[in-house]
C-alpha cells in the first residue's frame, strides 16, 4: 500500500505518482502489527508470546504498545502467516506492517488533475496523467476560470474572504482565535523556522512539541529552501504572520514527522511510526490530531482506523484527508479517512485566489494594483516601469511570440504581455520560463498581463518579483500613463506591510466539490465524508520560494477543519474539560454545520439546475464554524448510513437537542442529492470520474418525515422519526448509490444538515473478479490453459497468477488444492489435509483490498492488481514446499458482506492441473 501526501495533485496529497495498493515491495517483510483485546496488556503479552512458543514459530518482538487506545505489539516472524496469527489467543486483530514512502514527484501547491485541466497555478507537474479525452469543454473552462474575470474596484482582504465563506471570520472578529488549544499535525517534516510557525520548539514557543519518528529525534524540521508538505499543512491550521492567517492562529502546535521529505530514502518509515505519532500526540495533550497523509484503503477496518476510532472515543478530535483521487471515482478514501469516527474532509472549490497589493505612481497620482501568481518582494523598493514594445514601437511586445531585448536595466520592473499561444500560456506552457528569461536579462522584476497562464511564477526565483495583473484595468492605467510620456513607478512594501487581497474567479468552481477530492463510500458502505472545506488555490506557508505557496488538495482542507475544532475546544477550556461526550457532540456539530454543495457538470452532464453533488463526495457540504460555535443545537446522529438493501432499515430517527435557554422551533425537510450508477453497463468496472459515473434522477430515496415541525424548550430535546424507502427497479448489478440531506431549520435562522446515503442493491450480488485471473508462465509470458508439469526446484519455468478486482474485497486468497476439489469441499478456515485443501500459497492472502484501477479502455492506471504475478512454485505459507504431485490453484474472493464459512459467498476460480516434480 503506497502512502503519499493528500494534497491535490498533478500531485499533492495523496498523489503525484498514483499510489500502488497491494504492491509487495511496500510491505515490511515478515513484520506484523498485533492488536490485543481490551484488558491488561502485560497479561495479553505473556499469553501471546506463550502461544507463539507453543506452536514453535521463532519470532522477535520489536515494539510493544501499552496504551489502552492501541494495546498490542509488533513482531518479526519469517515462518508465521497472517491467518495463523489472527487465530491465536490474545489477538484481537493483526495486519502486515507497511512502509510509508515519500511521494514521487509530488510538490506542495500542485494539483492532481487531467493534463488539459491543470490551470490551478501548477507548472511543476512531473506526473501528469493522460486523461484528456475525458474532459468536457465546460470543465476546461472552469479550470481556466480563476483569472478570466477582470473586475475593477477594490478587492477585499483575502483572509476575510476565505474565512468569511466558512464562518471562521465571525469568530476571529469576536477574538476567538484558538488560544488554549493544541493541534497535532502528523505529516512530513516542517520548516520550523518559518515565522508563521513561530520559529522554535519548546514550552514557550508556538510549537510546543515535535518529533521525527524516522530519525527518532526531537527535530521534525527541514531546512530553508526544501519542499515541506508539513509546513503548508500546519500553517493552514494555525499559521500566523504578516501574510498568513490560519484558522486558529493562536493555537499551539505539535509537529510529528512520519513521512520522508522529498528526496529522502523511501524505506525509512512504516505504520508503527504513524501509530507512535498519534500516541505521542495524546500523551502530550493534543486536543485535535490532523492527518493529510494516508494509503488508499477504503475500508473502515485496519490498524490506523482502529486507533483513530479509539482516540476519538477517548475525547480527541481527529481530522483526516479524504484523498485527491476523486477523479478515479468512488472508493478513493485514505485509510485514516475511512475510520468510522474520523472527521474526513473533502475539498471545496472556492471562488477566490490571492493577490498582492502594491502602489503604482505616475505624475503625482497613484493607484493600488494587485498582482497574482507571484511572490512577495524580498525587501521594500520602488522601481520604474519599463514597457517592452514590439518592432513597430507601438504594440506592447508579446512575451510568448515576439523577440525581446537581450538585456534590461537592473532597476526596472518590466511590463510585458502574454498572448494566447498555447505553447506559452496553454496547458504545460512555458510562460514562467519566458518571464524568467526577462529576469535573466537583468530586470529587477517582471509583471505580465493578457492571457492567464497555466502555472504560477513563484518558483522561478526568490529574490525578485514576478506576477500577473489580474485586473486588466490596472495594466491599462500603466499603459495609458506611459503612452502619455508619464513615467510610472511601482512601490513594493516590506513583507510585514504587504496586503493580501482576494481576487474572484469566474465562479465556475464556486460552491462545489473540487473534482479530485477523494470520494466515499468505503467498500463496507460507510459514507465517511463528513464535510468539505477550502483547499483549492489556498495561500499557505512553504519552506521554498519567498516562504509562501499556492496549495490545492484535501491535504489543506483537512487542517482547515482541524483549526475550526481548535477554535471551539480552546474557547471551552480544552478537550479534557469537554470530556468524551463533549467531543462527540462537537464532532456532530461540525458535520451538521455543513451546507450542501451544488453539482457541477464537469463532464457536460445534464441534470437539473441547482442539483446537489453526491453525498459520498461532499459529506454534509461546506463547513460552517459559526454554526458550530454559536448555535445551541446538537443533532444526533450527524449522518445516516443506510447500507445496502439486505441490511437496510427503513425507520430511523434523529434527536435534536436545544442546549440553550430559549425555546426553538425546528422545521425538517428533505433534499435529494444526485444518485448514480457506479459500474459500467455490462462490464463490472468502475470508470474514472471523467468517464462516469452515470447520474440518474431515478436513483433517489423516498423520504417521509411524519413530524416536520417541533418546538423544543431550553435544555430540552426531541426525537423525530424518518422513514426511508430505497429506490427500486434499478439495475442493481451496476451498484446504484443514492443519497441526500435532511435539512433542519431553526426559528433562530440557522440551518443544519444530516446527510444520508445507501446502496440500492445487495453488495453481495456485485461481481468482484475482473475476469478470470491471468495464469501464465512468468518467463515466457504464455498463458497456461491446460495441464502442466513444473519443477519444484527450477524457478525458470514457474507459473504466476495475477488477480484483478472490479471492487475491493475483504479477503482474497490463493490456495493449493487437490485436483478433486469441488465447491462442495469448501470449509473455512481451511485446514491442510482436510476437504481436499492442501495449503495457502506463500504470501497468498490479502485482507481489505482495493480494486484494480482502469481507464475507459481498461488499461492499468496506477492501482495494482490485488496479486500481481504471485509465484506458483509449490511454496506454502509456512515457507516449505508441497510434496511432489498433482494440484490445482484456487483463487477465492469474498463477496461484499460475505460470510467466509459459506461457499456461495465467495467467487472462485480453479486452474488447470499443475504437476510438481522434483
What would the pLDDT profile of 286-336 be if each residue is shown by its tens digit?
999 999 998 888 999 999 999 999 999 999 999 999 998 888 889 999 999
What would the pLDDT profile of 187-199 be if each residue is shown by its tens digit?
999 999 999 999 9
- Answer yes or no: is pLDDT of 157 > 60: yes
Per-residue pLDDT at 462: 64
- Answer yes or no: is pLDDT of 3 > 90: no
| Higher pLDDT, residue 58 or 461 | 58
Question: What one-character DSSP code corresponds to residue 421?
Answer: -
Burial of 479 (C-beta count, 10 Å sphere; 0-12/13-18/19+): middle
Min mean pLDDT across 123-132, 584-593, 789-798 is at 123-132
What would the pLDDT profile of 663-709 be if each residue is shown by its tens digit?
999 999 999 999 999 998 877 788 776 666 678 888 999 999 999 99
Per-residue pLDDT at 506: 56
Per-residue pLDDT at 879: 84
Quick check: 262 and 230 in contact, CB under 8 A? no
Q: In this structure, which long-range contacts are made by residues 210-215, counting pairs with CB atoms below 8 Å and at least 24 apart in sequence?
A: 210/254, 210/255, 210/256, 210/257, 211/256, 211/257, 211/277, 211/280, 212/257, 213/256, 213/257, 213/258, 213/269, 213/273, 213/276, 213/277, 214/257, 214/258, 214/260, 214/264, 214/268, 214/269, 214/273
Per-residue pLDDT at 918: 83
How big is the chain, counted in residues? 918
Q: Would you name the residues annotated as active-site residues?
A: 187, 229, 555
Q: How many CB atoms lie within 10 A of CB 728?
A: 11
Burial per residue of 492-523, b for 16 or more beta-carbon CB atoms within 10 angstroms, e otherwise: bbebeebbbbbbbbeebbbbbbbbbbbbbbbb
Whole-angstrom distance, CA of residue 267 vs CA of residue 282? 26
Whole-angstrom distance, CA of residue 336 vs CA of residue 13? 13
Please give the torsion angle defined by the CA atoms of residues 537, 540, 546 and 547, in that order, rounded to the nearest 10 degrees: -150
Per-residue pLDDT at 77: 87
Average pLDDT over residues 807-826: 96
- Answer yes or no: is pLDDT of 9 > 60: no
Q: Cα angle vertex 619, ends 613, 622, to 5°?
A: 80
Q: How confident is the model at residue 67 (pLDDT cuts 50, 70, 90)?
A: very high
- Answer yes or no: is pLDDT of 14 > 90: no
Task: Pick the closest to residue 208 from 193, 196, 198 (CA basis).
Answer: 198
What would the pLDDT profile of 585-602 be if each residue is shown by its tens digit?
999 999 999 999 998 877
Average pLDDT over residues 362-378: 92
| Higher pLDDT, residue 82 or 103 | 82
Burial of 661 (C-beta count, 10 Å sphere; 0-12/13-18/19+): exposed
Per-residue pLDDT at 29: 84
What would the pLDDT profile of 415-456 be if each residue is shown by its tens digit?
999 999 989 988 778 998 999 999 889 999 999 999 888 777
- Answer yes or no: is pLDDT of 24 > 80: no
CB neighbour list of residue 494: distance below 8 Å, 6 or more residues apart:
379, 380
Whole-angstrom distance, CA of residue 432 vs CA of residue 887? 62
How large a percentage of the chain has pLDDT more than 70?
87
| E-strand stretches of 442-498 | 445-450, 465-469, 489-492
- Answer yes or no: is pLDDT of 508 > 70: no
| Higher pLDDT, residue 859 or 158 | 158
DSSP codes, 874-890 = SBBTTSPBPPSEEEEEE
How large a percentage of the chain has pLDDT more than 90?
66
Average pLDDT over residues 502-521: 80
Question: What average pLDDT does the chain have?
Answer: 86
What would the pLDDT profile of 533-575 be if each residue is shown by its tens digit?
999 889 999 988 788 988 889 999 999 999 999 999 999 999 9
Per-residue pLDDT at 111: 31
Cα of 79 vs its chain's centroid, Å: 36
Three-state DSSP class for residue 279: helix
Task: Pick the closest to residue 489 from 375, 374, 412 (CA basis).
Answer: 412
Q: How confident is the model at residue 146 (pLDDT cuts 50, 70, 90)?
A: very low
Query: Which is it for strands 93-98 and 207-212: parallel, antiparallel or unpaired?
Result: unpaired
Q: What are the phi and psi torsion angles at 607 (to 5°)?
A: -145, 165
Per-residue pLDDT at 516: 87
Min mean pLDDT across 2-16, 247-261, 395-409 is at 2-16
Whole-angstrom distance, CA of residue 456 vs CA of residue 122? 6
Beta bridge partners of 751: 745
Q: How confident is the model at residue 184 (pLDDT cuts 50, 70, 90)?
A: very high
Min mean pLDDT across 167-171, 476-480, 693-697, 867-871 is at 693-697
CB neighbour list of residue 840: distance below 8 Å, 6 or more residues apart:
81, 83, 813, 814, 815, 816, 830, 876, 877
- Answer yes or no: is pLDDT of 470 > 60: yes
CB neighbour list of residue 153: distance below 8 Å, 6 or more residues apart:
none
Full-model pTM: 0.92
Per-residue pLDDT at 263: 66
Whole-angstrom distance, CA of residue 364 vs CA of residue 486? 10
Whole-angstrom distance, CA of residue 467 vs CA of residue 492? 12
Please, how many CA atoms are within 13 Å of residue 516, restricted to the half-sphere of its CB? 34
Quick check: 740 and 679 in contact, CB under 8 A? no
What would the pLDDT profile of 848-897 be if each residue is shown by its tens digit?
998 887 543 333 334 568 888 899 999 998 888 999 999 999 999 999 99
- Answer yes or no: is pLDDT of 457 > 90: no
Q: How confident is the model at residue 787 (pLDDT cuts 50, 70, 90)?
A: confident
- Answer yes or no: is pLDDT of 148 > 50: no
- Answer yes or no: is pLDDT of 129 > 90: no
Average pLDDT over residues 752-759: 98
What would the pLDDT profile of 892-912 be if each residue is shown by its tens digit?
999 999 999 999 999 999 999
Question: What domains can be seen in the chain, in order of their start residue?
Answer: 27-98 (3.30.70.80), 175-350+509-630 (3.40.50.200), 368-493 (3.50.30.30), 633-765 (2.60.40.10), 774-916 (2.60.40)
Amino acid at each position: 500500500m503506497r502512502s503519499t501526501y493528500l494534497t491535490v495533485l498533478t500531485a499533492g496529497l495523496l498523489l503525484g505518482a498514483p499510489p500502488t495498493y497491494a504492491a509487495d515491495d511496500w510491505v515490511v517483510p515478515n513484520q506484523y502489527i498485533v492488536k490485543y483485546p481490551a484488558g491488561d496488556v502485560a497479561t495479553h503479552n505473556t499469553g501471546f508470546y506463550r502461544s507463539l512458543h507453543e506452536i514453535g514459530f521463532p519470532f522477535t518482538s520489536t515494539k510493544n504498545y501499552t496504551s489502552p487506545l492501541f494495546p498490542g505489539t509488533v513482531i518479526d516472524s519469517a515462518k508465521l502467516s497472517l491467518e495463523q496469527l489472527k487465530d491465536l489467543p490474545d489477538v484481537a486483530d493483526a495486519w502486515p506492517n507497511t512502509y510509508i514512502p515519500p511521494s514521487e514527484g509530488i510538490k506542495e501547491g500542485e494539483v492532481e488533475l487531467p493534463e488539459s485541466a491543470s490551470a490551478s497555478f501548477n507548472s511543476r507537474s512531473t506526473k501528469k496523467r493522460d486523461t484528456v479525452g475525458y474532459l468536457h469543454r465546460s470543465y476546461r473552462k472552469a479550470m481556466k476560470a480563476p483569472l478570466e474575470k477582470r473586475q475593477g474596484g477594490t478587492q477585499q482582504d483575502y483572509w476575510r474572504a476565505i474565512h468569511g465563506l466558512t464562518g471562521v471570520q465571525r469568530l476571529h472578529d469576536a477574538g476567538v482565535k484558538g488560544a488554549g488549544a493544541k493541534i497535532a499535525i502528523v505529516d512530513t517534516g516542517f520548516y520550523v523556522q518559518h515565522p508563521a510557525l513561530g520559529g522554535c520548539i519548546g514550552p514557550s514557543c508556538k510549537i510546543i512539541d515535535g518529533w521525527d519518528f524516522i530519525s527518532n529525534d526531537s527535530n521534525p524540521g527541514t531546512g530553508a529552501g526544501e519542499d515541506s508538505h508539513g509546513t503548508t499543512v500546519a500553517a493552514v491550521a494555525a499559521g500566523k504572520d504578516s501574510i498568513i492567517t490560519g484558522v486558529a492562529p493562536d493555537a499551539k502546535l505539535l509537529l510529528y514527522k512520519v513521512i520522508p521529505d522529498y528526496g529522502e530514502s523511501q524505506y525509512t518509515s512504516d505504520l508503527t511510526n504513524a501509530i507512535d505519532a498519534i500516541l505521542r500526540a495524546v500523551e502530550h495533550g493534543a486536543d485535535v490530531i490532523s492527518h493529510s497523509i494516508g494509503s488508499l484503503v477504503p475500508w473502515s477496518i485496519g490498524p490506523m482506523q482502529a486507533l483513530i476510532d479509539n482516540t476519538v472515543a477517548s475525547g480527541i478530535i481527529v481530522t483526516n484527508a479524504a484523498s485527491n483521487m476523486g477523479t478515479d471515482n468512488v472508493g478513493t478514501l485514505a485509510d485514516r479517512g475511512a475510520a468510522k469516527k474520523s472527521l474526513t474532509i473533502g475539498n471545496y472549490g472556492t471562488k477566490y485566489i490571492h493577490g498582492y497589493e502594491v502602489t503604482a505612481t505616475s505624475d503625482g497620482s497613484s493607484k493600488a494594483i494587485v498582482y497574482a501568481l507571484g511572490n512577495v518582494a524580498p525587501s521594500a523598493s520602488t522601481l520604474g516601469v519599463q514597457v517592452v514594445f514590439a518592432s513597430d514601437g507601438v504594440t506592447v511586445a508579446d512575451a510568448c511570440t515576439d523577440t525581446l531585448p537581450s538585456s534590461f536595466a537592473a532597476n526596472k520592473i518590466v511590463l510585458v504581455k502574454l498572448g494566447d499561444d498555447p505553447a506559452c500560456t496553454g496547458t504545460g506552457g512555458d510562460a514562467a520560463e519566458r518571464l524568467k528569461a526577462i529576469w535573466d536579462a537583468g530586470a529587477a522584476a517582471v509583471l505580465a498581463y493578457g492571457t492567464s497562464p497555466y502555472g504560477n511564477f513563484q518558483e522561478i526565483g526568490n529574490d525578485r518579483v514576478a506576477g500577473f495583473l489580474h485586473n486588466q484595468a490596472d495594466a491599462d492605467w500603466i499603459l495609458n500613463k506611459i503612452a502619455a510620456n508619464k513615467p510610472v513607478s511601482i512601490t513594493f512594501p516590506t513583507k510585514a506591510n504587504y496586503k493580501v487581497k482576494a481576487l474572484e474567479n469566474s465562479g465556475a468552481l464556486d460552491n462545489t466539490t473540487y473534482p479530485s477530492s477523494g470520494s466515499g463510500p468505503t467498500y463496507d458502505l460507510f459514507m465517511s465524508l463528513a464535510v468539505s472545506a477550502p483547499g483549492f488555490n489556498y495561500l499557505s506557508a512553504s519552506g521554498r520560494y519567498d516562504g509562501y505557496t499556492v496549495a490545492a488538495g484535501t491535504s489543506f482542507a483537512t487542517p482547515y477543519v482541524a483549526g475550526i475544532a481548535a477554535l471551539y475546544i480552546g474557547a471551552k477550556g480544552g478537550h479534557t474539560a469537554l470530556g468524551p461526550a463533549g467531543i462527540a457532540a462537537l464532532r456532530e456539530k461540525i458535520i451538521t454545520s455543513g451546507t450542501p454543495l451544488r453539482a457541477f457538470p464537469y463532464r457536460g452532464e445534464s441534470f437539473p439546475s441547482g442539483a446537489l453533488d453526491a453525498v459520498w463526495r461532499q459529506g454534509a457540504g461546506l463547513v460552517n464554524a459559526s454554526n458550530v460555535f454559536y448555535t445551541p443545537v446538537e443533532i444526533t446522529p450527524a449522518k445516516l448510513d443506510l447500507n445496502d438493501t439486505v441490511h437496510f432499515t427503513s425507520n430511523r430517527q434523529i434527536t435534536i437537542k436545544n442546549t440553550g435557554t430559549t425555546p426553538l422551533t425546528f422545521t425538517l425537510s428533505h433534499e435529494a442529492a444526485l444518485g448514480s450508477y457506479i459500474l459500467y453497463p455490462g462490464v463490472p468496472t468502475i470508470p474514472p470520474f471523467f468517464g462516469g459515473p452515470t447520474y440518474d434522477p431515478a436513483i433517489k430515496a423516498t423520504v417521509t418525515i411524519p413530524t416536520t415541525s417541533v418546538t423544543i424548550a431550553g435544555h430540552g430535546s426531541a426525537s423525530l422519526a424518518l422513514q426511508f424507502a430505497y429506490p427500486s427497479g434499478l439495475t442493481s448489478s451496476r451498484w446504484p448509490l443514492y443519497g441526500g440531506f435532511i435539512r433542519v431549520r431553526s426559528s433562530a435562522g440557522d440551518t443544519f444538515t444530516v446527510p444520508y446515503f445507501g446502496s440500492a442493491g445487495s453488495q453481495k450480488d456485485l461481481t468482484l473478479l475482473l475476469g478470470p485471473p491471468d495464469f501464465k508462465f512468468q518467463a515466457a509470458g504464455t498463458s497456461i490453459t491446460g495441464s502442466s508439469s513444473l519443477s519444484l526446484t527450477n524457478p525458470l519455468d514457474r507459473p504466476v497468477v495475477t488477480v484483478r478486482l472490479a471492487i475491493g474485497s475483504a479477503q482474497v486468497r490463493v490456495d493449493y488444492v487437490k485436483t478433486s476439489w469441488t465447491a462442495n469441499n469448501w470449509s473455512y478456515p481451511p485446514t491442510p489435509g482436510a476437504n481436499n485443501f492442501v495449503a495457502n500459497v506463500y504470501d497468498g492472502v490479502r485482507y481489505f483490498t482495493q480494486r484494480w484501477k482502469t481507464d475507459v479502455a481498461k488499461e492499468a492506471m496506477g492501482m495494482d492488481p490485488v496479486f500481481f504475478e504471485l509465484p506458483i512454485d509449490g511454496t506454502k505459507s509456512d515457507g516449505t514446499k508441497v510434496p511432489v504431485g498433482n494440484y490445482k490453484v484456487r483463487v477465492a474472493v469474498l463477496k461484499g458482506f460475505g460470510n467466509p464459512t459459506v461457499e456461495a459467498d465467495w467467487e472462485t476460480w480453479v486452474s488447470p492441473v499443475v504437476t510438481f516434480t522434483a
